[in-house]
Amino acid sequence: MVQGVSVENGVIQNINPATGQLIEPAVSVTSPEEIESIVSAANLSQQSWSDKTLSERIEAIRQGLIAVEPIADELADVITKEMGKISAEAKLEVSNAIGLKGAWLDMVKEANEDVHLGGGEEGKAESVVVRDPLGVVVVISPWNFPAGEIPFLAIPALAAGNTVIVKPSEVTPLSGELFCRALASSLPDGVLQVVQGDGKTGEQLISSDDVHMVAMTGSTATGKKIMNVCSKKLKRLVLELGGKDPMVVFKDADLDVAANNAVANSLFNCGQVCCAVERVYVDESIQDEFEQKVLDVAKKWKVGNPTDADTTMGPLASKVQRDNVSKQVEAAIEGGAKVLYQSECPDDGHGNFYPVTVLSSLKPDMTIQNLETFGPVVAMSTFDGTEASAIEMANSSDFGLASYVYTEDLAKGNRVARKIRSGQVGVNCYSILKAQPACPWIGHKQSGFGSHSGMDGFRSFSVPKSIVFTTNAPM
In sequence order, the 6+-apart residues with CB closer than 8 A to the CB of 384 are 283, 284
Nearest to 248 by CA among 423, 409, 430, 403: 403
- Cα–Cα dist 139/217, whole Å: 8
- In the annotation, is 275 catalytic? no
How far is residue 427 from each of residues 11, 252, 258, 286, 401, measured CA to CA in Å? 46, 13, 11, 19, 15
- Cα–Cα dist 386/405, whole Å: 13
- Cα–Cα dist 23/384, whole Å: 50
What amino acid is encoded at 300 in this protein? Answer: K
Cis, peptide link before residue 25, omega less than 30° from 0: yes
Give the CA count within 13 Å in the CB-facing half-sphere of 376: 29
- Cα–Cα dist 325/465, whole Å: 47
- In the annotation, is 387 catalytic? no
The active-site residue, picked from 82, 93, 177, 240, is 240
Provide the 10 A C-beta neighbour count for residue 430: 21
Q: Are 246 and 404 in contact (CB under 8 A)?
A: yes
The active-site residue, picked from 274, 275, 278, 291, is 274
User: Hey, which residues are catalytic here?
Assistant: 240, 274
